[in-house]
Structure formats: structure tokens, C-alpha cells
Structure 1
Amino acid sequence: MPPTTPPEPGPLPAKVPPRAAEPGVPRRRLLFGASAAVLLAAGCSGEEGDGGGGDSGPSQRPAAAPSGALGANFNEDPSEVSFARLRGVSAAWVRGFLPMPQVAGGSVAEQRAVATLLSAHEKGYGTVLSLKFPYRQRPLPVAGSKAMETELARVDAAARAVLGKVDILVIGNEPFLETRREDRAGPAINAFYEHVAEHVVAYREKHFPQGCRTRLYMGALNHLDDPAERTAATRRWLDFVHGTSRIEGVDIHPHVTSLDGAQQYLDYVVPRLRSDQKFLATEFSLVLNWGAHMRDKIPPRFARRYGIAPDTRVWQLLKRAVRDPFPQEQWDAFLSASPWFHRNRHYLRDQVERFRATGKLAVATYGVAQADAMVRDIGPDKQPWLLNSLYATRTVRQSEDGTSGRTRAWCADFRALQRGRDRLPVRTGTTAT
């Protein structure tokens, strides 16, 4: 997903009692007070029950390695995330990424993604942090160079802040998209990330010789549904994961046009994992499907019902909704009347079921809210990431009681996919170092 540069958010609240909006934070971005009560009582879907069951209670649940969990992803921007929203969909896992250049700007624990995850950790959430190394405009450092020393110093700072706290640390965010084309073909990309990974493994062993809560994965592979992107470098990537005993698996980001596209990721990755390894899917969506329909005209009956010009294109309607958010029922009507969306309304459910059916899924995380970067410069060629989000925070008017501001299909299925074993508090125990 594209990088984001939102304003610094306030910390997530420890509880959700009635309270006024924080100074300087728009009221529409908060779901505290009465709205939290509604979300906690009924869930985002508006249905009772917890979507799981089978546990006698969190105190009896033993620690176990993550397996098949579904959580919420905010990428770099947690400004739209609150514990009320996470509880509204019964999420017990949360994921974000840290751009490593930010580490040079101050304390790692104060970086917004890290601060959010550490706060969530204190409340019993399972947490996933990906380390992002942006090298699209400059060569990747080589071992022994000054540039590598600088990068490893940042890695050490991040490790000091999060090891033993976050449940999963992912080495790399989207390496094959965040690296110069001439480097990503290999071997430069492999050499850099292998060196960083070996450094992290050694750091964890030194500082946690008796075992550590934090499990290590290698960062996400993209575009594996395209045979041209399954290269010698991606094969070496998976060979390194397979051959490194302290790496517990690999992350994938299947942003695709269909379930079959995501299946190609699974067919490529799963057979290359060791028997004791799993995969993450910290981002996944049908955004490429949505993007193919941005120039479509909006549904005629929807246009007539809401008095909108019938030749309005989908991208123009989205831009209008961001400028002047719709009532919840109008947003629902637009999505249900759009055949390209309605026929995929259970995509989230179907995709997670396919992930789980492999028996190799550790954690998948799905976009929780519409962030700033998603609503900038909307046009016919901009990927409509905002259609993926559980909470429609920028395209739907936010009500005081929390009953509006969501994409109903995603919320309902996300909540139904939560299992009894996934309830708070998350307890993943320690892994050997």
C-alpha cells in the first residue's frame, strides 16, 4: 500500500468510558463514549454474539504459537484506530509497519506505529510489526559498508524497543516494491535482507538466550500471481526462509483481482515452507478488482434514487463521498447496487477460509480504516484502497452512537471469522532463540 504521512495521533485509550473528544482531534475520528458502548454490545455487524465460542475463558487458555488468527491492519497510520473500533469487530490482533528512516528522528517507542502496537500489547492484543526499508531511490547497502552500519544501528534501536513485546517482527515490509528495479532482480535484494535477518536473529539470541515472545518472519512478497514476478530472487528468498531455523515463515500481500489470484501465492509459497513454518498475510484485498471499475458509470437505480447524474463515474462518486461523506444507508446502497462489489461481498470470509484451509496460516490482518493517503488525489487511475476498509471513516458520516461509519459486509464477516481461541488476551508464549 502507498506510504502515508498523517498527523500524529493521540494514544489509544486504555478503556472506553464516556469522554469528550481530545483537543485538536476531529470528533468524527473517535469512537469513544456512547459509540463504544454500542460497538462493544452489538459488534460492528450489529449482531449479538462474539463470532467464536468454545473457550471456558481467557484465563484457562494456554499460550500457543499463532495459528489462523485474523486481525486488523493500520499500516503506518493508526490515527483512525481506537480500542473501541478494534473491539467493535472483536479483533484481538493488530499490525502496523515502521519506516526505518523514522528511527533516526527520535525514540522508536514514540513512533506512532510502534507506540500504538506497544499500547495494544499492554492491553493483551496480539501484535505484528513490519520493518520497512525504503530503497526505491538509492542502492541497497552492502555488508561492511557505512550505509549498512547505519541501517543496522536503526535495526538495533527497533529491536531494543519491541523484542519481547510484539508477538511477531517481520523483517521487511514489501521488499520487492520498495527497492530499485535493478536491485530487486537479485542478488542485491537477497544479500541485504539476509544480512539484516541474520543480524536480528543474533541480536535476539544475545538478549533473550532463554527464549523470546517475539517470533521472526521475512517480509512480504508481492505480485506472485504474475509468473514474471516469480524470479530467482523470490526463490532464493523462500530458500533462505526455509533454511534459517530461527525464521518462522514468510509474509505475503496478495492484492489481487480474484481468489484465484491469491491462490497462486499460496501454491508458490506454502510448498516451500518447512513443516514447522507458517505464513502471514498482513495485507490482502481485491483492490485490483475495484480499480478495474473506477471508470464505470454508477448504477442507474442508485443514481435515480439519490438524484445523481447518471453519467457519474465510480471514481467521481468516491471523490464526492470523501468531500461530503454519505449517510450510512447511501454508502450501503452504492456498494450493494454495484455488481462488481456485491458479488464479492463475502470476499473477506472466502479468502480467510482459503488461508486457514492450508493449515499454514499464522496471522492474517485486514485494513481497519480509511487513512489519509487513500483519499488524496482520487482519480480514475488511483487504486481505491478506501473500498477495502472495515470502517468507512472518510466516506460515511460518523454518528454519535457509533452505528454508522463502516462497510457492513466486511465488518460482519470479519467478526464472524473470530474464533474462541482468538479472544483477548492473546498469549503466544515464547519461541526458541
Structure 2
Amino acid sequence: MPDLDKHDAAENPTIKKLRQAADRQYGTVLSLKFPYFPDSRKPIPRPGTPAMQADLARVGKVLPAVMDKVDILVIGNEPFIECPQSDWNNGALNEFYETVAAQVIKQRKGKTVLYMGALNNLEDPQWTGTGTERWMAYVRDTPEIEGTDLHPHVGAPDQVRAFLDYTLPRLGGKKFLVTEFSLVQLWKKHLADRISAEYAGKYHVPKDTKVWQVIRNALHQPFAQARWDDFLRTSPWFENNKGFLTDQMTKFRATGKLAVAAYGIDQGIAALNGGDFGPDTPPWLLNSVFARATVQKNPDGTAAPNYAWLDEFTALQNH
């Protein structure tokens, strides 16, 4: 949302690209991100303050550019991550997003439906409290809101269940989105692992090479497809979880309350920051369906698929 201070909403690159996708008959979801923390380390604005009025003015700018054009508008991105923890349970976070939602509801028109978004880290009891309870009550009790978004980025596949266990009993008749989900926290736990003996022997790499070092090397000089595939195939922490997409989508759909789920397509950010990849870097790039940053392009110039995900991702479109 702060980007809207720089240029007209219709010229915002994200909005422009999403509107082009809508014109091509793709389903579209736009989340309104208010990055108060940790990006700026500012407190979340209180209703009636100049800072709140500035955010409402930004909302007023964006809505004419997207209403009745995008299918789903999500009010917020990751609210509990994007504001100080001191504001989670004192009402400040809820008051801010409810105030924004009231303006969006007032200006809503056409096909666009509204969700609140998105809850994170629900597998950790520290991330639930009076703030999340009020969040879910607002979702459930506000007729114009269709449901809530969820972002399960977890350290084990079974931790996604906590998101459903918390949300479903509190939804009433509403639905949920999962516009992001991944095992990025599991991948991160293994960055300091040694590579497999099989990979080390096949590619003549020192046996004490760490996972993060292989990724950094691939970012500096992209691998052939077969080598990247071998790296992930011989990593049990990855290979044993390559059914993650199908397993989780099966569970989401079984609830009868899933509206839309989405999954990361491209390693774009990793391609820009490859030189800085280290043992503590969140390895988002292992999630992506395509491996533009770590794998050499296909002969026709297109991005190569990331090991494991493309076939699953494609099959799930047809169910």
C-alpha cells in the first residue's frame, strides 16, 4: 500500500499485471499489504489519527482500480507479522483492519468478493489469542466478508492441520483461502546439513559441503536440470516430502470450505539476491514450481521446472 504514494494505482506494476491477467480470463486475488513491521518498525495506526487517514486515502486510491476487476480482494496480507507483537492482543491490530474493511465494504461493487487475510503460525500457541479470536469473530459476523486467508509456512507437513483445527470451528458458514503455503521452515532446518554422499561423489563435490552452499553455488552459476534434480532427489528431507502439494490440497478440499489455494510459481526474488544466500536465508526458492534462478534455461529459452512440483501443480488444476 505505501507504493501508492509513488504513482497512480492503475499504474502500479502489481495491479497492472493482475488486471492484465483478469483480461485474459484468469482468476485473480489481490492482497492489500500494510507493512508496518518489520519493514518500517512503526506502530500500527489508530483510528482517527493522521496515519490512519493516510492509509484510508491509499485504500481510496486502489479500490477504483481493482473493484469489479479482480475476483477476490484480501484486506491485509499477514497482519500479525506486519505489526508489532505488542499490538496483537490489545485491540489495535483489529481496530485498524476493521476500519480498513469498513471502507472497502462501503466501496465494494461488482464481482469482487472480500476476505480478511492472512493468519500465520497457527501451529504455535503464542500466535493465537484475543487478537485472532476477535479476527475470526469479525470474519464470521460480518456479512460482506466471505472468510479469511491462511498462510501455512511450516516446519512439518502435519503442522498445517493446526491452521484448519483453529479456523474451521470459528468460520461459521464462511470459507477460507490459502494464498500461500509451503514447507519453507522445514527446508530451512536442513540448510546446514551435509550433502548426500551420492551427490558429492557424482559431482565431485567435497563431502562436507553444506546444503546452503550448493544452493548458493547454483544461484551464482545455474546448474543443469539433471544436477539440480539430483541435489534435491538425494536430500531425504526434500525427497520424502515431494507429495506435499497433493497431500495438503486433498485436506483443504475435504473440508468443503476451501475457496481458493495458490502456490509459489517463480524464484524471482532469489534470482536478485543470490549472492547473499547463506545458512540463515529463508529458502523460499525450494518451493517454486519453476527454477529460473538455480537451473539453466530450457533450450527454447523458457524457465526449467523445479524438481518435484510441476507435475503435482499441473495435475491439481484438473481436479
How many matched pairs?
314
Q: Does the alignment pair 1:236 with 2:128?
A: no
Q: Identity of paired residues, percent?
A: 49
Q: Does the alignment pair 1:364 with 2:261?
A: yes
- Measured after TM superposition, the shift of residue 272 of structure 1 is 0.8
Equivalent in the alignment of 2:21: 120
- Measured after TM superposition, the shift of residue 402 of structure 1 is 5.4
Alignment of 1:204-353 (within 5 A): 204=108, 208=109, 212-275=110-173, 277-353=174-250
Q: The residue matched to 2:232 in structure 1 has which SS?
A: helix
Q: Distance in 1 between matches of 2:176 and 2:301?
A: 34
Q: Does the alignment pair 1:144 with 2:48?
A: yes
- Measured after TM superposition, the shift of residue 311 of structure 1 is 0.7
Q: Distance in 2 between matches of 1:142 and 1:225?
A: 29
Q: Distance in 2 between matches of 1:219 and 1:314?
A: 33
Equivalent in the alignment of 1:82: none
Q: Distance in 2 between matches of 1:403 and 1:135?
A: 37
| Aligned pair partner of 1:415 in 309, 314, 319 | 314
Q: The residue matched to 1:392 in structure 2 has which SS?
A: coil
- Measured after TM superposition, the shift of residue 404 of structure 1 is 6.0
Which stretches in structure 2 are left out of the alignment for 5+ residues? none
Q: Distance in 1 between matches of 2:301 and 2:122?
A: 39
Which stretches in structure 1 are left out of the alignment for 5+ residues? 1-99, 421-433
Q: Distance in 2 between matches of 1:337 and 1:399?
A: 23
Q: Distance in 2 between matches of 1:376 and 1:307?
A: 23
Q: Alignment RMSD, CA only?
A: 1.3
- Measured after TM superposition, the shift of residue 376 of structure 1 is 5.3
Amino acid at match of 2:296: R
Q: Distance in 2 between matches of 1:357 and 1:399?
A: 37
Deviations 1:215-238 (A, max 9, x none): 000010000000121111011100
Q: The residue matched to 2:256 in structure 1 has which SS?
A: coil
Q: Normalising by the residue count of structure 1, what TM-score does the alignment of the two structures yield?
A: 0.71
Equivalent in the alignment of 2:252: 355
Q: Normalising by the residue count of structure 2, what TM-score does the alignment of the two structures yield?
A: 0.96
Q: The residue matched to 2:308 in structure 1 has which SS?
A: helix
Q: Distance in 2 between matches of 1:225 and 1:191?
A: 25
Equivalent in the alignment of 2:67: 163
Q: Distance in 1 between matches of 2:16 and 2:249?
A: 28
Q: The residue matched to 1:335 in structure 2 has which SS?
A: helix
Deviations 1:220-272 (A, max 9, x none): 00000001211110111000100100000000000012221000000100111
Equivalent in the alignment of 1:38: none
Kindly indicate whether structure 1 or structure 2 has the higher relative contact order, using CA contacts under 8 Å at least 6 residues apart.
1
Could you say if the C-alpha distance between residues 220 and 400 of structure 1 is closer, same or farther in structure 2, counting changes exceeding 3 Å? same
